Amino acid sequence: MADGKDIKKALDDIVDRKYTFMHICGTHEAAIAKSGLRSILPEDLKIVMGPGCPVCITPQGEIDAAIEMAEKGCIIATYGDLMRVPGTKGSLDNIDGDVRVVQGVHKAVEIAEKTDKEVVFISVGFETTAPTVAATLLTDPPDNFSIVCCHRFVPPAMKYLLEQGEAQIDGFMLPGHVCVVAGYEEYEEFKVPQVVAGFEADDILLGLYMLVKQVKEGRGEVENAYPRAVSREGNKKAMDMIYRVFESHDVDWRGFPVIPDSGLKLKPEFEKYDALKKFDVEIKHVEKHSACICDKVLRGVADPTDCKLFGKACTPQNPVGPCMVSHEGACKIWALYNQKR
Ligand code: SF4
């Protein structure tokens, strides 16, 4: 297919019933919103965002644990997006403690090298950010440095969504950035239509076309529409680095119950960098008590505009839930780009 117009025409021609596909990536959502793609898709073709924003899926208990460490006198270092995500007692940006925004784990280590105080990096992200954190821990950072490991893997969440069936998904657009690192072999166990897609509007249109085609042909496999960046094997070196430092464990996600083997924790030989152990802090499960429906948005069963707080009590300036805080959150993206269904 030559260009976006051809793909769009092919998509218009092929869509013959209602289809719902899910992507699992904040960058895909931003690309869809910025390009106005939803407004030109066939009416019967719906693309929803799933749990693709690492900040949004970080549960309140993990924010509370970071706040507890700040209250114990630790310097907390983390990404800007996490600062305003609410825990049960507020967010990191409104507590009485030393909380610093850093661009990455290396900057948190630099802070530790220049102080005698304890520095805790709140380490969030999917397969994309975990290798850098692993690489840093392998360089033997100072003893006053530790992390709260909030990393999670995407495939177990997809498995949960498929088993549960709540979102009635016809197929998945796989996250391009995650697949650059992790490849897509692991997704082949899911016998549903899946396409790895890039982030240009044409990439996304092509991904959607390939998804519809798979459904119509009764296939359920992984196809790669982003071969310029993604291979089946991914970046083996980066994945090996993850498994040298971390091991998987069962963990809950915001909006989800505990998902087996979906989280990363430090291996015993790296325990000295485990801030939870070092400061005797526990991550507690928190039940939801608010009108925010981020949980439903993250499971792909509600649109941001279904929330009665959207654009009223909850705005990018005054966010109520994490999906309105993060630049990868569906609510913030919908608010900034005036998205509607
Ligand atoms: Fe939560 Fe705000 Fe989104 Fe509603 S609009 S789901 S309150 S983040």
Task: Give pLDDT, residue 286.
Answer: 85
Distance 323 CA to ligand 1 centre (A): 6
CA nearest to 25, candidates 15, 37, 33, 36:
33
For residue range 35-81, what is the model confidence (pLDDT) as tens digits?
999 999 999 999 999 999 999 999 999 999 999 999 999 999 999 99
Average pLDDT over residues 131-158: 97
Cβ–Cβ < 8 Å for 69, 95: no
Distance 254 CA to ligand 1 centre (A): 13
292 lines ligand 1 (CB under 6 A): yes
**Whose alpha carbon is nearest atom 7 of ligand 1?**
292
Name every residue whose Cβ is closer than 8 Å to that of residue 165 and which is 6 or more positions away in sequence: none
ipTM exceeding the 0.95 mark: yes
321 lines ligand 1 (CB under 6 A): yes
294 lines ligand 1 (CB under 6 A): yes
Confidence of residue 2 (pLDDT cuts 50, 70, 90): low
CA distance between the termini of the chain: 28
Cβ–Cβ < 8 Å for 187, 195: no
For residue range 154-167, what is the model confidence (pLDDT) as tens digits?
999 999 999 998 87
* Probe target for ligand 1 pocket from 314, 317, 327, with the most ligand atoms within 8 Å of CB: 314
Enumerate domains of the chain plus CATH numbers. Answer: 4-53+154-224 (3.40.50.11750), 60-153+234-278 (3.40.50.11740)
Cβ–Cβ < 8 Å for 176, 199: yes
**Whose alpha carbon is nearest atom 8 of ligand 1?**
321
Distance 56 CA to ligand 1 centre (A): 11
Calculate the CA dihedral of residues 192, 37, 234, 252 and round it to 10 degrees: -70
Looking at the chain, the whole-number percentage of residues with pLDDT higher than 90 is 89
d(CA 274, CA 268): 9
